[in-house]
Copies of this chain bind each other. A is one copy, B any other.
Amino acid sequence: MTTLTDATTASAPTDSPTDPVRDAVLDVARRAKVASRALAMATRAQKDSALLALADALVAATDEIVAANEVDVRRGRENGTSVGLLDRLTLTPDRVEAIAAALRELAALPDPVGEVVRGSTLPNGLRLRQVRVPMGVVGMIYEARPNVTVDAAGLALKSGNAVILRGGSAAATSNEVIVGVLSRALVAQGLPADAVQSIDAYGREGAVALMHARGLVDLLVPRGGADLIQTVVRESTVPVVETGVGNCHVYVDASADPAMALPILLNSKTQRTGVCNAAETLLVHADAAPAFLPLALAALAEAGVVVHGDARTAALAPAGVAVVPATDDDWAREYLALEIAVGVVDDLDGALEHIRTWTSGHTEAIVTRDLTSSERFVAELDSAAIMVNASTRFTDGGQFGLGAEIGISTQKLHARGPMGLGELTTTKWIVQGDGQIRS
């Protein structure tokens, strides 16, 4: 996994007055700021027609993009990159088409810019309204996923923002070609080329400079592994929204119907493992455990899931199903793999306490038939999303009907849960009078 740790540990150079990388990145940011002014004034029609043009340009450049991507994939394979990461890195003609289709879907979504959030006429006659406007310049720091390059550019364009991309070395060749295609298509549409810029050429030092570009970068979104996200959150002096680390829990209450609990557990854990809304821990009420856990452990084993369990879980394992003893590391871990931590709790309070202690605040699910359990689980946990009798996998902008998402926020400031177009905007207060002064 690519992390920024090396660069940030050695961040001193960016404080020097003559650092060429920092100067170059600040210049990129200044040009993005200028471009953002034109983007903020663009009409929905202009932005949507540009999105469709970007989609067409990407499809037209499929051969060039796939060829560049092969360079990255080959280098990744030589460097021993994992199969999962290689899969995320790889672009095929079908995947390029799917990425372009996502841009076309963006064009069909409503424009958040200009929405009047609230307004009134004040007693002194002032007409007050709060209107949604673009953030300005949005930075994205992400890893090895060239589709994010296009998604981020499209979301930023639709919401009227300029974007600065730092996609990491693993996908550098793919991203360079993609950004070139996007820039040329923007210019052909009469929009500024600086609306979408990459700072991959400036390496990790460039990423650090972006994190420190106060006054030029209005929002920085890290997307990737926990190490990358924590580095960005810790190092940045620009405003950051923390995304995507999901230690999600499924709690099976005493009253749960096993026939509902089992599919929810399996779907949450195994429907897709490398994503932040996959379940990482199963908690079972002691009263439900004797009937449910043998079934659940057998089903998990059959699905190829390695179980890290506490002693009570191990005691209920059916013959032939191995349970690795769970440690605190397991309760904390986001496996992103066919592994799960399993614990038996005495009651709902035990489940709430366990989740409060270990959760990353992403998504928690309860399976229950009891109204009080359901209401307490919803009210007393402090996570971005709470599911009652549904899979954790539903925490997703598309599933929630919000359209595309730039990430899933696990912080409480500004955005929480799936971040769509609206979360890439801020507001401006507009006050119209005819000479009012304050007395």
Binding site for B on A (CB under 8 A): 37, 40-41, 120, 122, 126, 128, 130, 133, 135-136, 214, 218-219, 233-234, 237, 239, 241, 260, 263-264, 266-268, 271, 374, 378-380, 382-391, 393-395, 399-401, 411-414, 416-417, 426-438
Contact = CB atoms under 8 A, between A and B. Distances in A.
Given A136-B382, A263-B435, A437-B271, A417 B429 contact: yes
A412 B380 contact: no
A135 to B, nearest CB: 5
Nearest to A415: B414
Nearest to A277: B438
A393 B438 contact: yes
How would you classify the secondary structure of chain A's contact residues: helix, strand, loop or mixed?
A: mixed
Contacts of A426: 412-413, 416
A125 to B, nearest CB: 9
Given A122-B399, A263-B437, A416-B426, A37 B380 contact: yes
B433 A390 contact: yes
A218 B414 CA distance: 11
A287 to B, nearest CB: 20
A251 to B, nearest CB: 15
A147 B245 CA distance: 40
B437 A239 contact: no
A379 to B, nearest CB: 7
A221 B428 CA distance: 20
A385 to B, nearest CB: 4
27 contacts: A40-B379, A41-B379, A122-B399, A122-B400, A135-B412, A135-B413, A136-B412, A233-B237, A239-B411, A239-B413, A260-B434, A267-B437, A271-B437, A382-B428, A385-B430, A386-B428, A386-B429, A386-B430, A389-B433, A390-B431, A390-B432, A394-B438, A395-B429, A395-B431, A399-B438, A413-B426, A414-B414
Nearest to A409: B426
Given A122-B401, A234-B237, A413-B241, A390 B218 contact: no
Given A41-B380, A128-B400, A219-B413, A431 B387 contact: yes
